[in-house]
Amino acid sequence: MKISREDVIRVAELAHLGLTPDEVERYRGQLDDILTYVEKLNELDLDKVEPMAQVLHAGSGDRHPELRQDTLLPCDVAVPILAQAPDAAKPFFRVPRVIEK
């Protein structure tokens, strides 16, 4: 068994997911199957292999197309963004109390 009920509950807490006891059991079984399957990656010798986080295209390394001119651009979007908020007290988002009295 790769993953226990306690592991599932701990991961759900890390991910801020509420789970019912039934879901805990179901996910435990399914995640166990998946984690057992991905064990096959251990068949490969990866000691000398570099990890690949992103597709980097030839030439993009020195030309840095990801960098733009360091100039201010207008970003006047507070009103439409706050209009989507479940609970806004302009110009803020309101959330339940975080710090106890």
Partner 1 sequence: MSAATSWTIAGVRAALEAKKISARELAAEFYARIDSRNRELNAFLTLSPERAYAQADRIDAAIARGETLPRLAGVPIAIKDVLSTQGIRTTCASKILESYVPPYDATAVERLDRAGAVFLGKTNCDEFAMGGSNENSAYGPVRNPVAPDHVPGGSSGGSAAAVAAGLVVAALGTDTGGSIRQPGAYCGVPGLMPTYGRVSRYGLVAFASSLDKIGPLAANVADAAAVTQVIAGHDSNDSTSADVPVPDYSAELDKPLDWLRVGVPEDYFGDGIDPEVKAKVEAGISLLHKLGCRRVPLKMPHTDYAIAAYYLIATAEASSNLARYDGVRYGLRVPGATLTEMYRNTRERGFGPEVKRRIMLGTYALSAGYYDAYYLRAQKVRSLIAQDFADAFQKVDAIVTPTSPTAAFRLGEKTADPLQMYLADIYTVTGSLAGVPGISVPCGRTKAGLPIGMQIFGPHFSEGRVLQIAHAFEKAGGFDL
Among 5, 17, 25, 90, binds partner 1 (CB under 8 A): 17
Residues with Cβ < 8 Å from 49, sequence gap 6 or more? none
C-alpha separations of 67 from 43, 54, 75 in Å: 40, 17, 18
* Residue 68 sits in the site that holds partner 1 (CB under 8 A): yes
* Residue 87 sits in the site that holds partner 1 (CB under 8 A): yes
Buried b (16+ CB within 10 A) or exposed e, 9-28: eeeeeeeeeebeeeeeeebb
What residues between 19 and 38 interact with partner 1 by CB under 8 A?
19, 23, 27, 30-31, 33-35, 37-38
Whether 4 and 27 have beta carbons less than 8 Å apart is answered as: no
* Residue 90 sits in the site that holds partner 1 (CB under 8 A): no
Site residues, partner 1 (CB under 8 A): 3, 7-8, 11-12, 14-19, 23, 27, 30-31, 33-35, 37-38, 40-44, 46, 49-55, 57, 59-60, 63, 65-68, 77, 80-81, 83-87, 93, 95-98
